[in-house]
Amino acid sequence: MQKNINYMADHLKQLTSIASPTGYTEEIVKYCENVLRVKGISTKVTNKGALLATIPGENNDRQRLLTAHLDTLGAMVKEIKADGKLRLSLIGGFIFNSVEGEYCQVHTVDNGPVSGTILMHQASVHVYKGAGESKRNEENIVVRLDEVLSNKEDVINLGIQVGDFVSFAPRYEETESGYIKSRHLDDKASAAVLMHMLEVIQEEQIRLPYTTHFYFSNNEEIGYGANASIPANTEEFVAVDMGAIGDGQTSTEHDVSICAKDSSGPYHAGLKNHMVSLAKENKISYQVDIYPYYGSDASAAIKAGFDIKHALIGPGIDASHSYERTHTDSLLHTYRLLMSYIKSEMLS
């Protein structure tokens, strides 16, 4: 099992190192495509820019699909201020407090990335009285660029313009106790699990009972990730995404989370119960949870009108949409449950 953990952690470290805010995912999709193709896995990039990998199974008439998303939270340049600092427009559902003080990259169209730091305009307590009480919002949070400049024209000359993407430094770290802390574990932790599953299936020549698709989506953080290009014979659709941890939640960093309901409503009861049964049978540590302010690629597919049974499972992630943390236990239990699932019989 340690070998599985090491491979997943290696994938996760690499994935978090590639900037991929929603709308700026071409590089990470290309990376995953290349890794899988080298291993002989059939892939396809959709018109929306997502990646679809397919493992043929004994039964091709009934099919399954697992999805994790490669896109992350991020921002765009909203305004270049007269003093050379930048105002931001957020991509995804998070609060400015969660990125205050973070290093970032502004991805210019022609001149490559420019580094900076996300700060309050009123950052200096020696200058701004009551700086701690100032609101962390679009008006006050700015990007201080690491270039010699003093005005708006200097910034424009760097190649920076309104609409450029801004990514946040991941600060990936693994501890000796097994914790992994980084930005963008949502949902690159799940993507790392799926990448490793594909490796194992291919290398061990595991024959699956049903053709199974692995869908790496690229628009989940804005609500419409894997809701198109779903193969016609797909009957069961499993979103692999984080289990949110907090007050009133059962999810932990040491279990696989199985979602019963989120803001879109209940997930398919039979498929959820099947996941629970598989976890019990295989002695996999799990928790069933409800996420009140959450939606997944599976719920997006249901809203798009696909006639599928949908489920949501994934590793437990602390401090979701902030500086996140999980444990290798959770990655392993997620991997084991998914491997058990794709080898099991489909619901009737």
- 155 and 205 part of one domain: no
Q: Is 137 exposed, middle or buried (0-12, 13-18, 19+ CB in 10 A)?
A: exposed
Contact yes or no for 198/41 (Cβ under 8 A): yes
DSSP label of 92? S
- 60 and 156 part of one domain: no
- Residue 206 to residue 198: CA distance in whole angstroms: 10
Q: Containing domain of residue 333, as a range?
A: 2-72+184-343
- 222 and 288 part of one domain: yes
- 275 and 215 part of one domain: yes
Contact yes or no for 302/308 (Cβ under 8 A): yes
pTM: 0.97
| The pLDDT value given to residue 123 | 86
Residues 6+ apart with CB under 8 A from 60: 210, 211, 233
Last residue of a domain, one of 135, 168, 201: 168
First-to-last C-alpha distance (Å) of the chain: 32
Is residue 348 assigned to a domain? no
| The pLDDT value given to residue 340 | 98
Place of tokens 């949908």: 310
Is residue 173 assigned to a domain? no
Q: Is 247 exposed, middle or buried (0-12, 13-18, 19+ CB in 10 A)?
A: exposed
Is residue 177 assigned to a domain? no
Q: Which of 26, 33, 203, 220 is catalytic?
A: 220
| The pLDDT value given to residue 321 | 97
- 210 and 333 part of one domain: yes
- Residue 226 to residue 296: CA distance in whole angstroms: 9
- 223 and 240 part of one domain: yes
Is residue 178 assigned to a domain? no
- 51 and 195 part of one domain: yes
Place of tokens 């007050």: 247
Is residue 39 assigned to a domain? yes
Last residue of a domain, one of 143, 168, 193: 168
220 among known catalytic residues: yes
- 305 and 252 part of one domain: yes
pLDDT in tens, the chain (348 residues): 888 999 999 999 999 999 999 999 999 999 999 999 999 999 999 999 999 999 999 999 999 999 999 999 999 999 999 999 999 999 999 999 999 999 999 999 999 999 999 999 998 888 988 778 889 999 999 999 999 999 999 999 999 999 999 999 999 999 999 999 999 999 999 999 999 999 999 999 999 999 999 999 999 999 988 999 999 999 999 999 999 999 999 999 999 999 999 999 999 999 999 999 999 999 999 999 999 999 999 999 999 999 999 999 999 999 999 999 999 999 999 999 999 999 999 998
- 78 and 16 part of one domain: no
196 alpha carbon, distance to own chain's centre: 16
- Residue 324 to residue 98: CA distance in whole angstroms: 10
Look at the chain and report how many structural domains it folds into: 2
- 288 and 311 part of one domain: yes
Is residue 19 assigned to a domain? yes
- Residue 232 to residue 326: CA distance in whole angstroms: 35
| The pLDDT value given to residue 305 | 96
Is residue 179 assigned to a domain? no
| The pLDDT value given to residue 130 | 79
Last residue of a domain, one of 168, 194, 218: 168
- 214 and 334 part of one domain: yes
Write the CATH number for 113: 2.40.30.40
Is residue 175 assigned to a domain? no
Amino acid making up residue 139: E
Q: 168 vs 101, 107, 189, 195, 255, CA distance in Å? A: 10, 11, 17, 23, 27
| The pLDDT value given to residue 134 | 86
- 8 and 139 part of one domain: no
Write the CATH number for 6: 3.40.630.10
CA dihedral in degrees (229, 234, 235, 240; nearest 10)? Answer: -60
